[in-house]
Every structure is written in C-alpha cells, then in structure tokens.
A and B are shown apart, each in its own frame.
Chain A
Amino acid sequence: QSALTQPASVSGSPGQSITITCTGTSSDVGGYHYVSWYQQHPGKVPKLMIYEVSNRPSGVSNRFSGSKSGNTASLTISGLKAEDEADYYCSSYTRYSTRVFGGGTKLTVL
C-alpha cells in the first residue's frame, strides 16, 4: 500500500489558478472513480473538498474542481484566495478494497 504521489508544495498568487496532481496506479487512482481530496488547515480537522473524482460536497466553493486522466488525478483551485493556504491530500480506493492517501501538498498563497 504505497502512498499516492503528490508534489510536496505548490504556490500561487491571489486570483491565479493552481493544480495539484495525485499519481497512483491502475490498482487505485486509475482503476476506480473513488478519488477524494481533503483540505487541512494547521491544527484543524481535514475537510472533504472533492469526492468521486469531481463532485463537490454541499458548501464547498465552485473554485475547487477535480478531474482524472489515467493514473493521475488533479485538484484545481481557481481564483486563489489567502484562505486556501493549507495542506491538501488526495485519497483513493484500491483494488484490495483498502484506501490510501497521498503524501500531501502544502499550498502557499504568495
């Protein structure tokens, strides 16, 4: 159960768009529609931002969007705001019915 691969950090200026990638294999990200994304501010509980690749829970801004191509999923944040600065984690269901998180990406808003 290797963790999914995410960039350690990404950054962007307010108003810009950024994309965080999450790379797995055909046994997890590439094989299932069950990719989720979480946002975690320091000292806070993780918050679900995207589920089933591209669906937003009620209350999540439409500035957040998800997609997938092959074994790589992506989270795009448009119109970047200072409040978006946080850690972001992807997760996926796997062929063994287990789950796995990515290593996390620290987003800095410049």
Chain B
Amino acid sequence: EVQLVESGGGLVKPGGSLRLSCAASGFPFTNYYMNWVRQAPGKGLEWVSSISGTNNYIYYGDSVKGRFTISRDNAKNSLSLQMNSLRDEDTAVYYCARDPYFSAGGDYWGQGTLVTVSS
C-alpha cells in the first residue's frame, strides 16, 4: 500500500525557517518524481516544487524560488522541503505527492502538514 506521511509543520515567525519531511512507503521511491503542493486557508492548490527520482531535475514555483529547497534521500525513502525566509503568505497546508504523470499533484497524496507563519 502506498503511503505518504508528512511531518515538520508548525508555527514559525516571519523570516524564520522550517523543514518539512515526507516519509514514503509501499512503492519503489526512486522511480518517481515527487511534488510539494500547498493550499492556503480557503484558497486553491499551488504547486511548490518537483524533484526527479534520481535528484537530477529540480524545479520550483516562482513564489518560493530562492527561499525553498527540495531534496530527497532515496536510501531512506524520504522527501524534504527546507523553507527559509518564511513569509505570512507561506501559511498553508503542505502536501507531498507522488507524480508519475508530470502533473502538479500526483496519484497519491499525504494528509498534509500545516505551516503557520505569524508573529
């Protein structure tokens, strides 16, 4: 059974940092692109970042480029999102998703982890 479990969310002050993790199981992790997607309260879905199975290709949305860093540890079946210089507008539920179809989301999603940026 495919499972994706995010962790690491919480309350952080503007300008602060936070690292999200996504533990994957039930599928050959190295074979898949992985995405981070976020959803601000009451708003739509926003694609954040994608990483290829072998770490060769990494892409970011304009709103997070230069502040967020996506990475993966294939030995540990783990995906991460390092978030720096956080802003109020980064407040959202962050989802990790398995992406076999070059989509903004994926065929399997985690339950999400809430990040709140507030002073």
Same assembly: yes
A residues sitting closer than 8 Å to B (CB atoms) are 1, 3, 32, 34, 36, 38, 40, 45-48, 51-52, 57, 87, 89, 91-93, 96-104
Task: Report chain A residues within 8 Å CB of B100.
Answer: 51
The chain B residue sitting closest to A105, CB to CB, is B44
Among the listed B35, B47, B59, B103, which residue makes an inter-chain contact with A51, where contact means beta carbons less than 8 Å apart?
B103
Number of A-B contacts (CB under 8 A): 75
A47 vs B111: C-alpha distance in the bound complex, in angstroms? 12
B residues sitting closer than 8 Å to A (CB atoms) are 35, 37, 44-47, 50, 57, 59-62, 95, 100-107, 109-112
Q: Do the beta carbons of B47 and A101 come within 8 Å of each other?
A: yes
Q: Do the beta carbons of B104 and A101 come within 8 Å of each other?
A: yes
Q: Do the beta carbons of B46 and A46 come within 8 Å of each other?
A: no
Task: Report chain A residues within 8 Å CB of B50.
Answer: 98-99
Q: Do the beta carbons of A45 and B111 come within 8 Å of each other?
A: yes
A45 vs B61: C-alpha distance in the bound complex, in angstroms? 21
Q: Do the beta carbons of A36 and B103 come within 8 Å of each other?
A: yes
18 A-B Cβ contacts within 8 A? Answer: A3-B44, A34-B101, A40-B45, A45-B109, A45-B112, A46-B105, A48-B105, A51-B107, A52-B101, A89-B44, A93-B102, A98-B61, A99-B50, A99-B102, A99-B103, A101-B45, A101-B104, A101-B105
Among the listed A1, A36, A97, which residue makes an inter-chain contact with B105, where contact means beta carbons less than 8 Å apart?
A36
